[in-house]
Structure 1
Amino acid sequence: MVDAHETFVIIGGGLAGAKAAETLRGEGFAGRVILIGDERDHPYERPPLSKGYLTGDEERAGLFVHEPAWYARAEVELHLGQPAVHIDRHTRSVRLGDGTVLRYDKLLLATGAEPRRLDVPGTDLAGVHHLRRLAHADGLRGMLTRLGRENGHLVIAGAGWIGLEVAAAARSYGAEVTVIERDPSPLHRVIGPELGALFADLHRENGVRLVFGATLAEIVGADGQVLAVRTADGEEHPAHGVLAAIGAAPRAALADAAGLDLDAATGGIAVDAALRTSDPAIHAAGDAAAVQHPVLDTRLRVEHWANALHSGPAAARAMLGQDVSYDRIPYFFSDQYDVGLEYSGWAPPGTYDQVVCRGDVGKREFIAFWLRENRVLAGLNVNVWDVAGPIQDLVRSGRAVDPHRLADPATPLTDLPSA
């Protein structure tokens, strides 16, 4: 039986919000739990949208965080298909798009992120897609099926994780694929130039055309349909569909309008290690939160599944007054063709001074480590499994290691001597 003397409201119907609601009940919170989501679907997980669900290997029912009946059993009140449009911090209330006002004692912002839009002529043509929501994936699946059947061309703007995963999915349907990327290599801002060639080779071997150092300037169409794209240098590429995969922006407008502090570097909602915003009654988690990381000693906004999975529960515990320090090492995974990989840590270009590999890079069975002053900042395991934990332990320890031993597969990661 719910005790209505205290109300916790969660804005955001994704993985972070759903796991926060689950944790509140699991930790014994007996007050009202209200979950607000602007999508009509129950909370679901997003990684399959560019992986198994997009390829048709996973069923729709398997995407959802909980079965629909769970929310009633857990006495979690749902407001789906209804956006939150205003937060009044003085009255501690949230107004929904239909005028409903919900009062809160504690509020969690798990508002996620939105795909960045192409700012070029032609984005209003039929066949221009983004990928963030289940409805986006449904539309993209239909287009890939048609392109594969008709030997049509898909142009993808962006060679990040989403762009590359969709390229692999599109090839599985038989579609022709061109990827246009302004950086000199795939995943340049995540793994740097050292390993970018590996992913470029992987996609070329599978029939993807890659165009680097180019910017999409116009989508050309006729009768409302996409026919081609044109890059800034005037080159034209045939296209019967276009995917914008140029990153995502945090959905922080609601927090900004409420006067909460944002992180200038990432645009995310600034929170401390306990996931508290500048208002102690409001927490933030998931893609929208820019967290002051207690181990990496920097503010990070992480858009990946593992962060949503773990930061939602951490925020819930903090809302209950528990002592929380959210110090998980950033982690994500990807599947492309016959390559599976996991990345742990944080090492964007400019933060490291060398990359060390162990294993066989040519066979795509290896681990890469990004180091600064012999300290491991991040690790990428490619078709090598059960090592993410030890890699994260190396990142967390901050201790110097011997790069030669690090590169030696005979040396267990758990037994690396100091340099």
Structure 2
Amino acid sequence: MTGLTGSAGSAASAGSPGNRIVVVGASAAGLAAVVALRKGGYDGTLTLVGDEPHAPYDRPPLSKQILSGAWSPEQLPLRSPADLDALGLDLRLGAAATGLDTAERTVRLADGATLTYDGLIVATGVRPRRLPGEGAHVLRTRDDALALRERLGPGRRLVVVGAGFLGAEAAAVARGLGARVTLLEPAPVPLAHAVGEAVGRVLSRAHLEHGVDLRCGVTVTEVTEDGVRLADGELVEADEVLVAIGSLPNTEWLAGSGVTVDDGVVCDEYCAAAPGVYAAGDVARWYNPLFGTSMRIEHRTNAAEQGMAAARNLLAPAARKPFAPVPYFWSDQYDMRIQAFGHLRGHDEVAVVDGDLAEGRFVAAYRTGERVSGTLAVGMPPKAIHGWRRAIVDGVRWGEAVAAREAA
């Protein structure tokens, strides 16, 4: 596909049937993509498809400000109605994509509509994994968060299944609302696979200190009317159950399309998945040349950055650039701010390079192979990890980074 600028001098004028871009997913990634397309000079038909009835909104506050009641739903939208209107979108909300034909370059929607495209960006995100049984909450959408918020309060018994970042944030908020919280985790140490056992134990300690009944090494088999059933037959009683056991990429609608799917939409380093097709956000599995591996990142910052990158590469394929970010995420739990840069999963070594684990204020650095691959800080100012982020970008060898720290 040649350039799709749609501006003066292009082969197609605004609104021409031969000059259409469709972005599937009214998410942070999808919104970032359409904004970048307009800023990049594209003035053709631009369709944004979303399966929810709401305009694009921010998801990180769902497990924090919305669940706690600190924010109203009206504070979630990523753009005001006026700013959204100014983009001149063909906005299709409440209409999920159900099929893709890359040969005919068409997208089918649940409402029966068929959209033709010259360029397509897939930003359909993920959905929560669930457990057998009925009645459990999940926490992915605005409506999910509001439904759970209505059921929490002093003395209410909440069981959270899964002590990852989402489950941990929800548990912390629920305790702040006065709920009695039981946090169930199958691993011996929560988040150890990502951050290491020592760091995982520090994060776990915060829950214990705030009165959460944290139970590790237990497997939940089903949700019941009275709570959850464990693999050993025990019933853990609850008024409400939140299942936070990970997510599944929304790729089923791509079956038979020719787009390769393997735990996400498989993309190259430019976020390209097929001719004229790019992907961005939680659903995209792309090759990140900075780390020399494929990754799929479910973090807000990455979604926005990747949406912009996919849009730029779609507009100007002859000048496209690899998407090679240092992933960033943060989490707020109780009075603890957690920040991390890099690719922590699969690390070979982790070392505390500043602060003290025992005090709950520290910076940890991660080694994969011979290089610095990640850093995580708890209760530290942002500047405490900037140098380690720079080491990740520069591909600094582990020995050199540690030696420089010891000499400082």
**One fold, TM greater than 0.5?**
yes
Distance 1:196 1:363 in 2: 14
8 Å CA contact 1:187–1:196 kept in 2: the answer is: yes
Match of 1:138 in 2: 146
Task: Give unmatched runs, 5+ long, in structure 2.
Answer: 1-6, 8-12
Match of 2:15 in 1: 4
Q: What amino acid maps onto 2:303 in structure 1?
A: A
Match of 1:386 in 2: 382
User: More deviation in 95-104 or 368-377?
Assistant: 368-377
Match of 1:228 in 2: 227
Count of residue pairs the alignment pairs up: 391
Counterpart of 2:200 (choices 171, 196, 199) is 196
| CA offsets 1:98-138 (integer angstroms, 9 cap, x no match) | 211111000000000000111x3xx213xx10011111011
Q: Calculate the TM-score normalised by the size of structure 2.
A: 0.92
Distance 1:261 1:84 in 2: 17
TM-superposed deviation, 1:192: 2.1
User: More deviation in 339-348 or 382-391?
Assistant: 382-391
8 Å CA contact 1:354–1:372 kept in 2: the answer is: no
1:35 correspondence with 2:34: no
1:296 correspondence with 2:291: yes
1:154 correspondence with 2:165: no
8 Å CA contact 1:358–1:406 kept in 2: the answer is: no
Match of 2:306 in 1: 311
Q: In structure 2, the residue corresponding to 1:194 is in which secondary structure?
A: helix
Distance 1:186 1:316 in 2: 37
TM-superposed deviation, 1:47: 0.3
Q: How does 1:74-85 map to 2 (within 5 A)?
A: 74-85=87-98
Q: In structure 1, the residue corresponding to 2:303 is in which secondary structure?
A: helix
Q: In structure 1, the residue corresponding to 2:31 is in which secondary structure?
A: helix
TM-superposed deviation, 1:87: 1.2
Q: In structure 2, the residue corresponding to 1:168 is in which secondary structure?
A: helix
Distance 1:100 1:218 in 2: 38
**Cα RMSD over matched residues?**
1.8
Task: Give unmatched runs, 5+ long, in structure 1.
Answer: 222-226, 412-419
Distance 1:342 1:354 in 2: 15
8 Å CA contact 1:71–1:77 kept in 2: the answer is: no
Distance 2:165 2:271 in 1: 26
Match of 1:416 in 2: none
| CA offsets 1:136-183 (integer angstroms, 9 cap, x no match) | 011011111xxx24x121111101000000000100110000111110
Q: What amino acid maps onto 1:355 in structure 2?
A: A
Q: What amino acid maps onto 1:302 in structure 2?
A: I
Counterpart of 2:277 (choices 250, 275, 282) is 282
| CA offsets 1:36-79 (integer angstroms, 9 cap, x no match) | 00100000111001111211122322211111222222211100
8 Å CA contact 1:180–1:214 kept in 2: the answer is: yes
- In structure 2, the CA distance between the partners of 1:219 and 1:91, relative to structure 1 (3 Å rule), is closer
8 Å CA contact 2:340–2:377 kept in 1: the answer is: yes
User: More deviation in 152-161 or 365-374?
Assistant: 365-374
User: More deviation in 366-375 or 322-331?
Assistant: 366-375
| CA offsets 1:351-382 (integer angstroms, 9 cap, x no match) | 31342331132222211111245521110011
Q: What amino acid maps onto 2:233 in structure 1?
A: G
8 Å CA contact 2:249–2:282 kept in 1: the answer is: yes
Distance 2:350 2:134 in 1: 44
Q: How does 1:357-372 map to 2 (within 5 A)?
A: 357-372=353-368
Distance 1:407 1:28 in 2: 46
Q: How does 1:261-280 map to 2 (within 5 A)?
A: 261-263=260-262, 267-277=263-273, 279-280=274-275
Q: What amino acid maps onto 1:289 in structure 2?
A: A
8 Å CA contact 2:195–2:344 kept in 1: the answer is: yes
Distance 1:373 1:259 in 2: 35
Distance 2:65 2:405 in 1: 33
| CA offsets 1:186-235 (integer angstroms, 9 cap, x no match) | 112211212111011100000001111110123332xxxxx232211233
